Amino acid sequence: MGNKRIGLIVLTEIAQTGLVAILREQSELCRITIHGRLEVDDSNFLAGLFRELIEEFGGEFAVDVTEMIKKNSAPFKNVFRNRQGNKDTAIFAIIVAPLLLEKIRLVPNSGALRLIFSNEVDQIVDVDNRGNKTIAMFPDEKQALIAAFKWAQ
C-alpha cells in the first residue's frame, strides 16, 4: 500500500450555534475526526475510511455514516488530497445530524472530542508551536479543516 493516509472530518450544525467540526484532542494536539493509514486489505481510500470508522468510533456510527455515503444522503466530499513521492493523503468531510454523534463509541486511545467553530481555525497553530492555550494541528489536517468549513458553508 505504500504510505497512504486516510482521514475524515465530521461536521454538524448545532441550533443557535452554527456549523462545528468534531475533532479529537490527544495530548495537547487536535486531530481530524478520523485518521489512519490504508492497510493491505483496503481496496481503496473509501474502504480504508470505513475500516477506520469502525475501529475508532464503533460499528453503529460507522454503519450509519457508511450508508449515508453510499446512498448519497449526506453532504460528503474529498476536501484534501496530497500526493508527494510515495506518500498519498486523502481527507474527506461529511455533514451529519447532531443526533448521530450520540452513536460514537470512543476507544481508550481515542482521546476526547473537541468542537471547533469555523472562526477558531485561524487560532490553530502548527504542532511545533503548540502551547498550553493553543489549538495545535498538523498542517495538512488544518488545510483540510479549512477546506471542509469552506465547502460546508
DSSP state at residue 135 = E
Q: What is the pLDDT of residues 86-139, one digit of tens each?
A: 899 999 999 999 999 999 998 887 888 999 999 999 888 887 776 666 788 899
**Distance in angstroms (rounded) separating the CA atoms of residues 31 and 16:** 26
The string of DSSP letters for 85-120 reads TTEEEEEEEEEE-GGGGGG----GGG-EEEEEEGGG
Residue ranges and CATH numbers for the domains of the chain are 3-152 (3.90.79.10)
Q: What is the pLDDT of residues 11-67, one digit of tens each?
A: 999 998 899 999 998 877 889 999 999 898 888 888 899 999 999 898 899 999 999
